[in-house]
Chain A
């Protein structure tokens, strides 16, 4: 008798755990956030903050991080996702084409953009090569580190910043492309991703690193001794978030998306180096963002930038894109 009860005790306990667990799981809605890797630190704070609000108290969010393009491909191939946070619009477009994200995902007040950043120059401490302008990057003997735009979504922002900066200074389309050719003559290595480019620069290679402002702030926090400057002309980097069709079925997912544009969440993005899209938060003196003289976007038509779809085809097509010739030189 005694022996039997001893044997059954753990089983009874296990059953109790399962019942309690099932109860807890039943009360909670599990949502899945699939994001690119850079905002991981921000979401590490945003997710618990959301879960502590009334709207989020019964929500459990699972999170997945990786390279933006890889994440988009994973979702397209069936990775379950309710909310996607990617580094640039074409990765969301991949999901729209697959019918996983509705085509009106960017029809809100913020056009689907949750964080901004700008392309900056990261230089060695004290700026020994005195690099200030885009023209300085093409001088003899300057080494520029940027990831390969064919493998890195982030690098595409760099290329478009360089191109747009030339146009903003009154150069023609042809002159701007010639500038890209000169620029890439000074690019000795082509790391695969923005993070790898930071690692290469940290290892001592190169005089200037082209990257996002938030990555530059990250590098400083991680003890890479550098400083960064915002060039007079640069591009506004815009990172989208969207609900997938499965996310749209949950009111909790909609609440989370709304929360990302709340001042609480926007502050947390700001603290990890992003520029908040909420003007009231971005104004905060603690961020002290430098506004460049000419700040353009991927849709600045006067500079020949007609949105990602056209840019993607003209510059980054793997067969005939402008960059194939620029890099192959």
Chain B
């Protein structure tokens, strides 16, 4: 018992040290470098028209992509768990590929496919549509992989009971399955959102990077670094971080509330 407690403390210590070294210290350094030039500079940098246009576009696109993923990701997870069809194992394996592919390669491939010379005759490159498409590609696995294990574990008895009591398939999904999946969907959505906010490689080619039109914050930040304005780059990065943190906390709080509410 005592050794168990000591082991727990050791594990906690290691976890905290590791987390600090890998995540917290770099984030703190970023915030430090953004405030080194004073709050006034920070505010001036963030409210520059080009910077705020890029921020708005980034957040709008990320919200859209996260919402879309909530629906399609759940549907894909459902098909992978509840249906059986030839090649299911292969499809299951393909889901993770967007993680493995260097995103700049993904961007290049999407440009070849959906650009002016694409084989399908659709040209969405260098527009916001192309940007959203690229983000959908790289964020696909998050919701699927969050929902899948929950769906696998989900007790079919509850659904059968509901159906035997006369609930239709829609009602069963809405009242039984969906509430059980919601926390997983939300955590997948949160990850997809955070990823979409920070994505660089996949969008840098296909978006065209036109200020006020298709330039996202990550590309804007790269531009600030290239033109010797690290203060501007750090300021916009901090805003992106704060927004992502806000969204993650909000979803975390909602999940917490849901779990307690259920009990």
Report the nearest A residue to B222, measured CB to CB: A151
Report the nearest B residue to A149, measured CB to CB: B227
Report the nearest A residue to B200, measured CB to CB: A192
A205 & B229 in contact (Cβ 8 Å cutoff)? no
Q: How far is the CB of A159 from chain B (nearest CB, A)?
A: 13
Q: Roughly how many angstroms separate A204 CA and B115 CA in the complex, as a whole number?
A: 7
Q: How far is the CB of B5 from chain A (nearest CB, A)?
A: 43
Q: Interface residues of A toward B: which range? A: 20 to 34
Which residues of A lie under 8 Å from residue B210 when comparing CB positions? Answer: 188-190
Known contacts A150-B223, A316-B227: does B208 contact A203 (CB below 8 Å)?
A: no
Is B50 located at the chain interface by the 8 A CB criterion? yes
Is B47 located at the chain interface by the 8 A CB criterion? no
Residues 32-74 of chain B, each 1 if its beta carbon lies under 8 Å from chain A, else 0: 0000000000000000011000000000000000000000000
Which residues of A lie under 8 Å from residue B108 when comparing CB positions? Answer: 199
Is A148 located at the chain interface by the 8 A CB criterion? yes
Q: Roughly how many angstroms separate A327 CA and B211 CA in the complex, as a whole number?
A: 8
Q: How far is the CB of A69 from chain B (nearest CB, A)?
A: 5
Which residues, 210 to 233 on B, are CB-close (under 8 Å) to A? Answer: 210-212, 214-215, 219, 222-229, 232
A205 & B223 in contact (Cβ 8 Å cutoff)? no
Report the nearest B residue to A205, measured CB to CB: B116
Partner of B211, one of A152, A200, A328: A328
B116 & A204 in contact (Cβ 8 Å cutoff)? yes
Which residues, 247 to 285 on A, are CB-close (under 8 Å) to B? Answer: none
B209 & A189 in contact (Cβ 8 Å cutoff)? yes
B204 & A196 in contact (Cβ 8 Å cutoff)? yes
Is A191 located at the chain interface by the 8 A CB criterion? yes
Is A28 located at the chain interface by the 8 A CB criterion? no
Partner of A148, one of B116, B126, B223, B229: B223
Is A309 located at the chain interface by the 8 A CB criterion? no
Which residues of B lie under 8 Å from residue A188 when comparing CB positions? Answer: 126, 208, 210
Is A57 located at the chain interface by the 8 A CB criterion? no
Q: Roughly how many angstroms separate A152 CA and B222 CA in the complex, as a whole number?
A: 10
Is A318 located at the chain interface by the 8 A CB criterion? yes
Which residues of A lie under 8 Å from residue B226 when comparing CB positions? Answer: 69, 150-153
Which residues, 202 to 255 on A, are CB-close (under 8 Å) to B? Answer: 203-205
B228 & A318 in contact (Cβ 8 Å cutoff)? yes
Q: Roughly how many angstroms separate A162 CA and B205 CA in the complex, as a whole number?
A: 24
Q: Roughly how many angstroms separate A151 CA and B216 CA in the complex, as a whole number?
A: 14
B126 & A196 in contact (Cβ 8 Å cutoff)? no
Known contacts A199-B205, A318-B228: does B212 contact A192 (CB below 8 Å)?
A: no
Looking at A153, A189, A317, the one whose CB has the most chain B CB atoms below 10 A away is A189
Residues 108-123 of chain B, each 1 if its beta carbon lies under 8 Å from chain A, else 0: 1001100111000000
Q: Roughly how many angstroms separate A119 CA and B126 CA in the complex, as a whole number?
A: 25
Is B125 located at the chain interface by the 8 A CB criterion? yes
Q: Roughly how many angstroms separate A327 CA and B212 CA in the complex, as a whole number?
A: 10
A192 & B209 in contact (Cβ 8 Å cutoff)? yes
Q: Roughly how many angstroms separate A94 CA and B209 CA in the complex, as a whole number?
A: 26
Known contacts A203-B112, A328-B211: does B219 contact A192 (CB below 8 Å)?
A: yes
Which residues of B lie under 8 Å from residue A203 when comparing CB positions? Answer: 111-112, 115-117, 125
Q: Roughly how many angstroms separate A190 CA and B125 CA in the complex, as a whole number?
A: 12
Which residues, 173 to 194 on A, are CB-close (under 8 Å) to B? Answer: 188-192
Which residues of B lie under 8 Å from residue A205 when comparing CB positions? Answer: 115-116, 125-126
Report the nearest B residue to A327, measured CB to CB: B211
Q: How far is the CB of B174 from chain A (nearest CB, A)?
A: 45
Report the nearest A residue to B112, measured CB to CB: A203
Which residues of B lie under 8 Å from residue A191 when comparing CB positions? Answer: 204-205, 208-209
Known contacts A205-B115, A328-B49: does B211 contact A151 (CB below 8 Å)?
A: no
A189 & B204 in contact (Cβ 8 Å cutoff)? no
B227 & A189 in contact (Cβ 8 Å cutoff)? no
Q: Roughly how many angstroms separate A317 CA and B126 CA in the complex, as a whole number?
A: 26
Partner of A318, one of B111, B125, B232: B232
B111 & A200 in contact (Cβ 8 Å cutoff)? yes
Which residues of B lie under 8 Å from residue A317 when comparing CB positions? Answer: 227
B205 & A328 in contact (Cβ 8 Å cutoff)? no
Q: Roughly how many angstroms separate A129 CA and B206 CA in the complex, as a whole number?
A: 25
Which residues of B lie under 8 Å from residue A148 when comparing CB positions? Answer: 209, 223
Which residues of B lie under 8 Å from residue A196 when comparing CB positions? Answer: 204-205
Q: Roughly how many angstroms separate A189 CA and B128 CA in the complex, as a whole number?
A: 12
Q: Roughly how many angstroms separate A196 CA and B200 CA in the complex, as a whole number?
A: 14
The residues of B with any CB-CB pair to A shorter than 8 Å are: 49-50, 108, 111-112, 115-117, 125-126, 204-205, 208-212, 214-215, 219, 222-229, 232
A-B contact pairs, 18 of them (CB 8 A): A69-B225, A150-B227, A189-B126, A189-B210, A191-B204, A191-B208, A196-B204, A196-B205, A199-B111, A200-B111, A200-B208, A203-B112, A204-B115, A204-B116, A317-B227, A327-B211, A328-B49, A328-B212
Given contacts A152-B226, A328-B50, 6 further A-B contacts (CB under 8 A): A148-B209, A148-B223, A190-B211, A191-B204, A205-B115, A318-B229
Q: Which 8 interchain pairs have the tightest Cβ spacing? A: A204-B116, A189-B208, A204-B117, A203-B115, A151-B223, A150-B223, A318-B227, A151-B226
